[in-house]
Structure 1
């Protein structure tokens, strides 16, 4: 069944959650000028019809870890099986089938250099059905992470955004070290960013006040942020594409800033590799993708080459949920 189109209030609720995934419905309602019950009903409906979920995510840079984008070209008929196996791994952020169904792309966040090397240089390289492995280390994000696409929807007024946006993370002197309680807290929030304090207490074995303090510390330190997962079809974003841009080094920053401002772009980052900027973007149709490539990408100074791949199917989006 197709998901119903979203109305302006739906979009306002979604953008409010993108700004602060744990904002109480009462606070969102006060900013939007509606009742608490209206916001709660909209959220439940969006959850049921557009699979909207708030997820707690970690900024790997703040933990001193690297994020990788990996492309795996496979023999025919095994890409889907490989994608399913990768989706079940806790160190994958997302997994997609691209390029005619013979290529798998995934975002990976290995917790250590040892885990990275075991995966990239051992397991994947020794899998006979995988023909090539290309790994891009994320160097500098231009857009994405805590800057979710819904903030570009302009459903909220500037004053409403200001009222809902939490304070910016504090600058850090070095990587944050997580203890067992933090790990347990984050594990729950990765599957439900709006988990109650009671649920977080049960998972961590800590008091309510201790959970509140640690939750605030992780957020103010920029380690924890919240993203909104949802079906894109109700927003008219049926075509998903990955762009692999080869950009002159002198133009990297300017091109990255331009891409971040494009409403079509959901993610853009400088990476290692011949293609040194990776972009994820969504469009209403292939024709709109063509227009974007010719009229927005084509005019940016410093771009030497562009490879475009359509995402055929999203196997995993931000977190693995086998019941979805």
Structure 2
């Protein structure tokens, strides 16, 4: 998402509505927003065509037997761009970002959980990659903030409007094995998830073609996966469009006794776009969005300093996001008759 755009009130209300239900019909969204349906449709397609906003379908790794890792890679100065480009093409990576300084980059990686190796083959491959000097991987034990959407983009709708967009649904089961067994996960579900990662609002006919299911089966499977907590939808949008251009990564060393209090505070803080408890030297990792460096200082010196049990804090500024939650999309290009829609993923 590299193009600039100014978001007006209707854009922000539309983005908030999509965060509540990424697959809600435009007619339903228009009714809640009090805008003509054609206007809402035009706004969405304008923002998506400009690669400013898109809805992506995301899968909870734990519920399909996989692990998420936050990985820090130290590169030789002339290798960082090539390593970043290679990681961008992989289907098992997300949130790729070179850090300010030029030799370090970070990303999220998904690996199988089966066996004792975990993500070792990938990490060994990285260490053998020319120009990579060191790899540090921390396993995500539990996300604690940002899973339901960053608060910076979820302030545009009144409570009654948010309620009108919500469908009553059962709470996800606590037993992950039971949830996975109930929802089921196979090759067709993998193809479904891959297509929804490209476009969370892909139409049912397109999804039926990809999976080989009937339209009614596609609807039923999406509903079951969402109810089981396996599948959810996120709005992928650069926070700079909301006036928060500075993104920082934080690694917090937190004593076990203070983990609950610290993570609860992070989950309520509007500056935190994502946070998780992880393995490694720092037990808590967080992404923070700020208006400028002064705001980041205030967050560190005031809000974090007021929390108990935090020892060492390491911070780094992101130079740019090479990839966010979903697969990287190419800018739209003129199409010939019979070609598919704009913005296909690189490497697919």
Task: Give TM-score scaled by structure 1 length.
Answer: 0.94
Q: Which residue in the other structure is 2:193 paired with?
A: 186
Q: Which residue in the other structure is 1:130 paired with?
A: 132
- The partner residue of 2:173 within 171, 174, 187 is 171
**Alignment partners' CA distance in 1, 2:212 and 2:153:** 39
Aligned-residue Cα RMSD (Å) equals 1.8
> Does the aligned pair in 2 maintain the 1:136–1:272 contact within 8 Å?
yes
Post-superposition Cα deviations, 1:189-219, rounded to whole Å, max 9, x if no partner, equal 1101000011011111211111111111111
Q: Which residue in the other structure is 2:76 paired with?
A: 75
- 1:36 maps onto 2:40 in alignment: no
Q: Which moved more, 1:221-230 or 1:3-12?
A: 3-12
Q: Which residue in the other structure is 1:284 paired with?
A: 291
**Alignment partners' CA distance in 2, 1:272 and 1:8:** 41
**Alignment partners' CA distance in 2, 1:64 and 1:158:** 36
Q: CA deviation at 1:319?
A: 2.4
Q: CA deviation at 1:241?
A: 0.5
Post-superposition Cα deviations, 1:222-262, rounded to whole Å, max 9, x if no partner, equal 11100111232221111110011111110011000101111
- The partner residue of 1:117 within 102, 115, 120 is 120
> Does the aligned pair in 2 maintain the 1:87–1:94 contact within 8 Å?
no
Post-superposition Cα deviations, 1:249-285, rounded to whole Å, max 9, x if no partner, equal 1001100010111111100111111111000011111
Post-superposition Cα deviations, 1:12-56, rounded to whole Å, max 9, x if no partner, equal 110110111000011111112222112112212222446211011
Task: Specify every segment of 5 or more residues in structure 2 that has no aligned partner in the other structure, as ranges.
Answer: 332-348
> Does the aligned pair in 1 maintain the 2:68–2:111 contact within 8 Å?
yes
**Alignment partners' CA distance in 2, 1:188 and 1:231:** 21
**Alignment partner of 2:322: what SS?**
strand
Q: Which residue in the other structure is 1:267 paired with?
A: 274
Task: Give TM-score scaled by structure 2 length.
Answer: 0.88
- 1:300 maps onto 2:307 in alignment: yes
Alignment of 1:137-156 (within 5 A): 137-145=139-147, 147-150=148-151, 153-156=154-157
Alignment of 1:41-120 (within 5 A): 41-49=42-50, 51-113=52-114, 114=117, 116-120=119-123
Q: CA deviation at 1:128?
A: 4.7
Per the alignment, do residues 298 and 279 of structure 1 end up closer, same or farther by CA in structure 2, a change over 3 Å counting?
A: same
**Alignment partners' CA distance in 2, 1:24 and 1:130:** 46
Aligned length: 322
